[in-house]
Structures are given as structure tokens and as C-alpha cells.
Amino acid sequence: MNAVEVNHLRRIFTPTVGVIRRQKKEVVAVNDISFDVRPGELFGLLGPNGAGKTTTTKMLTTLLIPTSGNAYILGMDVVEQAEALRSRIGFIFGGERGLYWRLTAEQNLRYFASLYNVDPSVAKTRIPYVLELVGLKDRANEKIEGYSRGMKQRLHIARTLLHNPEILFLDEPTIGLDPVGARELRAIVRTLQAEKKTILLTTHYMLEADELCQRIAVINHGRIIALDTPEGLKKNVSDLSVIELDVAGILPDTLDKIKAQPGIETVSVEDHDQKQTMVIHSPRGSEAVPDLMNCLMGLKIGKVIVREPTLEDAYVRLVEGEV
């Protein structure tokens, strides 16, 4: 039996728009999605803002009712058996509030354990266990108003582990965390995976998805546009090389000139602290570099790198190919 089974799931929202002439508008947030997650698998959901990832996650965690289609978690129907299912799943949504700032981490967990009907004798051993698992054992008796964002996020994970759920839905767990905080959180996700939990992870960080996920579904405009292992997704761009050029003072027509060169697929500019980096996808690889240099005549050029495509490059091609 699959841990998650999703069949033709759809969700339409009908918000009211307009101030004077109020009208109902249809937003198809999730449009006929089907996929399975195996027991113990760490499955990723990737996709641009508004693609339908959170809406999908909310339907799978019984927080939203699907418009049509169905989904089974641990063999249980997310609509018909929602109540019973809730005690077997855990979820966190990134940037979530809902912890009590004036209480310590330990007191917060005690409160949530009673809310989730965790037997007090079980909670007694479970609370120190989850605090240890998320690395907060030494800070458990401090009020969480003094906690960093990363610590609060880890406490959210601890909270959702109290009832020992078999499957976890983590929607952007590393959002807003600094690189160290994000790394600590990924280590926790790996520990949970080692504990044989099934995990459905939504993230915008490609390195995170590449590092953690066994399979990934890329969602765009409410549909799955690719579903594969990270390696499989990268094969879609195996014909490409990526050229990265640090340049100062890029002008709008510089980009047009570059796009007009032979064999240039995409050009984007990343802004870093002190510099701008042009990222160019081309099947020509280093052969394209002299043409690029001609286009950049007169500009200050720093490092030039020609590298293999990453998951992010595969993602960009998939999503940009769709627009």
C-alpha cells in the first residue's frame, strides 16, 4: 500500500472580486493532480509561487476539502476518514505562528500534547525525546520569546511529532531561516527519514530538494509537469551547459544581444551583494564564451564558469518552457 495516493485531485476557489461590481471569480488552484508516495519515501513538491503546492498539502492534511478527485493517506480517505486520519499525520506550514511565547518550549509541548490527546504517561517520555530530536533539549526551559526563528521552527517540528505521526507534511520548513538554521533543519528531516517516516516536503530551495528528496513532483499552474528522481529531472537538461559570468553594469540591451547569439537558450541575471552574475543556458558550453565576451565588450567581467546543470537549471527549463 502506498503512504499517499492522490487521484485526479482538483480544488477551485471562488473568491469575490471587485469593489463596486462584486463578482465571483474562479481560481483553479489544483487542476487534476495524481501521484503516489511510497512508505518511508521523502517526496518533494516544487513549483513557482501560486502553483498549488500549499493547496495540495492542505487537502492531504484534511484542512481543505477537494472540489473533485480523491486522496488516500495510509489507506484512509482524506474526506470520509478525516477525523481518524488526523491522529496519524503531522504537518507544519512555514512561517506559522501558534506557539505560546510566554511559555517555555517544554510547557508549550505539554500544552499541545494534551490538546492532541497524547496520554500523559506517554507525553512524559515523548516530550524529552522530541526536544532532543530537534536539538532543543538544553534550551527546553527557556521562554520561547527569546528563541531565534530557527529554534521556533524546530519547536514546531517537535510539536507535530508529539503524537508520533507516521507521515509528515512539511510546507516550506526552512523559509526565512539563515543557512545554518536551514542546515540544522535539514539534518532533522534526515533523522526523521531514518526513523522511517514518510515525508512530503515543499520547498523553494533546489539544493535542499536535490539533497533530501528521493522523488520530486514539479507543479505549475495546478498541474504536475514533471515527476522523477532528482537525477531523472537533471537528465532533461543533460544537453545543456551553464555559463556563469560575473559582470558589473549590465545594460538592458546587453541581454538582448546575448539572447541573439547562436545556441543561447535562456539568460538570467542574479543580483548578489557586490556583483551581478549572468546565468546562461546553452548546449554550446564553453564554445559560446567568445561570443558572449564580444557582447560584453567594455564591461568589467569577473569570474567565468562553465558548469554542469543543477536541479535548479532543470527546474528553470521546465517552468519557463511552460509559460
In the complex, the residues that contact ligand ATP under the rule CB under 6 A are 13, 15, 27, 29, 47, 49-55
Considering only residues 65-94, where is the footprint of Mg ion by CB under 5 A?
Answer: none
Q: Indicate the residue among 13 and 205 with the shorter CB distance to ligand ATP.
A: 13
Taking the complex as a whole, the smallest distance from the CB of residue 69 to Mg ion amounts, in Å, to: 19
Contacted entry of ligand ATP, Mg ion, none for residue 15, CB cut-off 5 to 8 Å set by kind: ligand ATP
In this chain, which stretch among 54-62, 95-103, 107-115, 234-242 interacts with Mg ion, using CB under 5 A? 54-62
68-73/223-228 β-pairing: unpaired
Q: What is the DSSP letter of 104?
A: B
8 A C-beta contact, residue 92 and residue 156: yes
8 A C-beta contact, residue 289 and residue 243: yes
Report residue 171 CA to chain centroid gap: 6
Binding flag, residue 54, Mg ion (CB under 5 A): yes
Residues 151-166 as b or e (16 or more Cβ within 10 Å = b): bbbbbbbbbbbbbebe
Considering only residues 220-239, where is the footprint of Mg ion by CB under 5 A?
Answer: none
Taking the complex as a whole, the smallest distance from the CB of residue 222 to Mg ion amounts, in Å, to: 13
Taking the complex as a whole, the smallest distance from the CB of residue 96 to ligand ATP amounts, in Å, to: 13
- Binding residues for Mg ion, total number by CB under 5 A: 2
Q: What share of the chain is helix, strand, coil (3-state, %, to 5)?
A: 35, 30, 35
Taking the complex as a whole, the smallest distance from the CB of residue 59 to ligand ATP amounts, in Å, to: 10
* SS3 of residue 143 by DSSP: strand
Taking the complex as a whole, the smallest distance from the CB of residue 252 to ligand ATP amounts, in Å, to: 28
Per CB under 5 A, residues contacting Mg ion are 53-54
